[in-house]
């Protein structure tokens, strides 16, 4: 029996992040994965966005596109494996399962069985799509976002169900590939973590790209009519599509009885309960990624992995979700970090906002050229500290992590409002938002 300081079960974003962090801290770690390390997470986020990695003409066929996807996937998985090898992470390929509070049994592909022992265990084995009773899974008809890479052809008309980054990115990616897209979610806002005015602007820009937004609508029924699916929503809205893609609801662990038998509490839909340090109800066993909740972004998953790794090695660290920068690849990109106007009060702040907007119509493709850049600074009225940032801009990925550092460093609205940026630096919109926030702070 081989012994390690930490065992990590699962090789997607959260698991890889956890293993790398353990190794960085000088401990002995083993990562167990049954498939290609990094592949599931890469596909989930990047399948429809290969054009952001390599030049792809709009005219390429789906088969040609998938050839590029396979090549980029292989390169990504190879780079992840090289990172793990470089820091001394042991990798075991096989089907793993929790055998005890500090043990994982592995069935390797060649039939060999292993029992690995660790002082702590991090479960990062992911989740599965949860299909509603009214929408049972059916190959090629009602599918999850994980199944898109296996499609032989993209649908002419498609209904994407869900909210947040995965649903919105899937809708936009399909639209870019020529599909007619309906995006439906039961909630009124696509992004509950952002303020209402940003949700309105995001919806407006998606609609301009000819994506039909059906927010606050619930699917009542559907039936097959030849090659088409006749959809009925609870408000009486009816339309036809060729495929339905579930992009939100998840099911957690499959080994329900085994985990509960070890004392691990499970919540609704078989998701593992964790505290703010990512530990389960079984001491020494942690859970990260979608196994511990909803489908999370890459940055959330990686941060959960790092938090669990540090706590598994005796450190005391809590996950602060608001301090994890988020980027959604729309057109233009959307990003946010820290508090919004809805959540700042819950953190004990007296929130004041500053907004700035500008038209960024650059010509070109009529569906994807017109957009409005939008910036918001949220500050605390008493301390004048910046406590949150939201932005819609092509510069969002460049700036959002920097603004997290500014928030952590205690930068005030005045600091940003009075800053001088080089011409073309792209930060002027945020400085203008800070100036407007500064005016709001001075008003009675």
- Domain segments of the chain: what residues? 2-128+250-319, 142-246, 325-442
Average pLDDT over residues 30-42: 94
Determine which of 301-310, 371-380, 422-431 has the lowest per-residue pLDDT on average.
Answer: 422-431
pLDDT tens across 264-300, in order? Answer: 999 888 899 999 999 999 999 999 999 887 778 899 9
Residue 365 confidence (pLDDT)? 52
Residue 58 burial (CB count, 10 A): 9
* Least-confidence region, from 183-187, 250-254, 296-300, 364-368: 364-368
For residue 306, give the nearest of 293, 288, 284 by alpha carbon.
288
Q: Is 236 left (phi over 0), alpha (psi -120 to 50) or beta?
A: left
pLDDT at 282: 95
The CATH code of domain 142-246 reads: 3.50.50.60
Q: What is the pLDDT of residue 432?
A: 93
- Spell out the CATH class of 325-442: alpha beta
**Is the pLDDT reported for residue 308 higher than 70?**
yes
Reported as a single tens digit per residue, the pLDDT across 49-91 is: 998 889 988 889 999 999 999 999 999 999 999 999 999 999 9
Bridging pattern class, strands 228-233 and 238-241: antiparallel
pLDDT at 185: 93
Give the tens place of pLDDT for each residue, 131-185.
Answer: 988 889 999 999 999 999 999 999 999 999 999 999 999 999 999 999 999 999 9
What is the pTM (predicted TM-score) of this model? 0.92
Model confidence pLDDT, tens digit, residues 209-240: 999 999 999 999 889 998 899 999 988 999 99
Q: Which pLDDT belongs to residue 255?
A: 80
Domains 2-128+250-319 and 325-442 share a fold: no
- Residue 253: pLDDT band (50, 70, 90) is confident
Instruction: Convert the pLDDT of each residue in 322-331 to its tens digit.
Output: 999 999 999 9
**What integer best gives the mean pLDDT of the chain?**
92
- Residue 366 pLDDT > 80, yes or no? no
Say yes or no to pLDDT of 250 above 90.
no
C-alpha 339/C-alpha 322 separation (Å) is 6
Over residues 415-439, the mean pLDDT reads 84
Query: What pLDDT is stored for residue 425 in this prediction?
Result: 60
CA distance 74 to 186: 37
pLDDT at 110: 84
- Asked if residue 199 has a cis previous peptide bond (ω within 30° of 0), the answer is no
Question: What fold does the segment set 2-128+250-319 form as a domain?
Answer: FAD/NAD(P)-binding domain (3.50.50)
Alpha-carbon distance values, 310 to 10, 18, 26, 196 (Å): 17, 8, 11, 36
Rounded to 5°, the CA angle 431-434-436 comes to 115
């Amino acid at each position: 029996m081989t012994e390690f300081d930490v065992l990590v079960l699962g090789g997607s974003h959260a698991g890889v992040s956890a293993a790398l962090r353990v190794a960085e801290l000088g401990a002995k770690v083993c990562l167990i994965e049954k498939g290609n390390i990094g592949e599931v997470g890469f596909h989930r986020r990047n399948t429809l966005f290969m054009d952001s990695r390599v030049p792809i003409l709009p005219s390429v066929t789906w088969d040609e596109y998938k050839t590029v996807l396979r090549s980029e996937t292989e390169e990504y998985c190879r780079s992840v494996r090289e990172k793990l090898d470089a820091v001394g992470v042991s990798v075991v390929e096989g089907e793993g399962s929790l055998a005890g509070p500090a043990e994982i049994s592995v069935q390797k592909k060649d039939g060999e069985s292993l029992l690995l022992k660790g002082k702590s265990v991090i479960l990062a084995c992911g989740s599965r799509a949860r299909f509603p009773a009214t929408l049972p899974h059916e190959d090629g008809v009602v599918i999850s976002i994980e199944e898109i890479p296996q499609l032989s052809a993209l649908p002419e008309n498609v209904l994407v169900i869900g909210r947040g980054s995965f649903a919105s990115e899937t809708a936009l990616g399909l639209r870019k590939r020529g599909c007619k897209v309906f995006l439906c979610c039961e909630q009124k806002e696509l992004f509950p973590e952002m303020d209402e005015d940003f949700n309105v602007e995001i919806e407006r820009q998606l609609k301009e790209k000819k994506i039909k937004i059906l927010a606050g609508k619930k699917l009542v029924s559907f039936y097959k009519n030849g090659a088409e699916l006749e959809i009925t929503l609870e408000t009486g809205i009816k339309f036809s599509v060729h495929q339905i893609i579930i992009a939100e609801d998840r099911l957690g662990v499959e080994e329900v009885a085994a985990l509960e038998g070890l004392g691990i509490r499970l919540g609704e839909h078989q998701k593992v309960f964790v505290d703010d340090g990512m530990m389960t109800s079984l001491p020494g066993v942690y859970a990260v990624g979608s196994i511990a909740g909803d489908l999370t972004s890459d940055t959330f998953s990686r941060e959960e992995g790092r938090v669990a790794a540090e706590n598994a090695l005796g450190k005391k660290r809590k996950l602060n979700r608001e301090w994890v920068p988020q980027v959604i690849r729309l057109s233009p990109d959307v990003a946010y970090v820290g508090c919004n106007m809805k959540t700042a009060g819950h953190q004990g702040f007296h929130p004041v906002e500053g907004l700035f907007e500008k038209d960024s119509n650059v010509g070109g493709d009529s569906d994807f050229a017109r957009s409005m850049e939008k910036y918001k600074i949220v500050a605390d009225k008493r301390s004048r500290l910046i406590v949150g940032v939201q932005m819609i801009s092509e510069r969002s990925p460049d700036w959002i992590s920097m603004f997290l550092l500014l928030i952590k460093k205690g930068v005030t609205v005045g600091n940003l409002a009075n800053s001088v940026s080089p011409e073309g630096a792209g930060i002027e919109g945020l400085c203008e938002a800070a100036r407007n926030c500064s005016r709001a702070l001075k008003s009675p």
